[in-house]
Amino acid sequence: MRLGVLDVGSNTVHLLVVDARHGSAPIPARSHKSELRLAEHIGEGEIILSTGIDALVEFISSAQEVAEDLGVTEMMSFATSAIREAANGDEVLREVLRRTGIDLRVLSGDDEARLTFLAVRRWYGWSAGRLLVLDIGGGSLEVAVGADESPDVAVSLPIGAGRMTRAFISGDPPTVDEVKALRKHARMTIAEVTGRLAREGRPRHMVATSKTFRSLARIGGAAPSSDGPFVRRTLDRSDLNVWVPKLAAMTVDERTELPGVSASRARQLLAGAIVAEAAMDLLSINRLEICPWALREGVILERIDRIDP
């Protein structure tokens, strides 16, 4: 069957179309996305503005056309932190349903961590042993650890790259005090869950997903995405220790000159790097392997498991 998964995130709205059958890996057929940056359409009182709703509806309508042209038989649609935490999130969902017919499912932070963990487990297989998985999105950091397909612990922390940038960074480049405050907040937040994660035992394999981690790995010397998903890519804490102060000293325009850094992501890259460095430090991770599968693939895999053989 041909499946479409529509992911409404804090930064990007993304339609991924795949061919799927029970017992097989999903085969990508088409990717259609927009850097909508929904979180930047939030006004006073944490309300998503009409401009954001209109832009979201416009993209979803275009995604429906793409899905129809490609013969998608089933569409799975979900939203994450931007809508989940908006004061008018229910109103946004109703408006999207009224104008497009799409009934968005709002994932909890724990569901995000759980489904991302499933995708990573399937990618690496049982031989990877106990996994620890990190994912930095626009609104939150997801952390999951476990030895099975479902994590033993899955937590979502409100320190995503976009959220932290909006909360702490105004200068370009940022001031020393801004960077210091962001770093302090990130480390305090992560420290609240380190004990809970440590009690699960030392993971055998430590993995990261998301655009933020891929960009950080790329500027640290990892292969470009054009080399394909099966090339091994890693991110070392020692590289982050070098790059965080460099990124802090750069303007947004200067960051866009770095390999693998898009103009739309350059502003929040510093915050993402600081959160990544804090997580690796506090969780005693020296190296992360970058997994090409993440939340969208987890949603697809969970659906494939329900297909009759």
Judge if 2-106 and 109-295 fold alike in CATH terms: yes
| pLDDT tens by residue, 208-221 | 999 999 999 999 99
What pTM does this model have?
Answer: 0.93
Superfamily in which the 109-295 domain is placed by CATH = Exopolyphosphatase. Domain 2 (3.30.420.150)
The interaxial angle of helices 266-282 and 176-198, nearest 10 deg, is: 40
| pLDDT tens by residue, 227-282 | 999 999 999 999 999 999 999 999 999 999 999 998 888 999 999 999 999 999 99
Q: What is the pLDDT of residue 10?
A: 86
Per CATH, is 2-106 categorized as 3.30.2390.10?
no
The domain segmentation of the chain, as residue ranges, is 2-106, 109-295
The letter for the amino acid at 275 is V
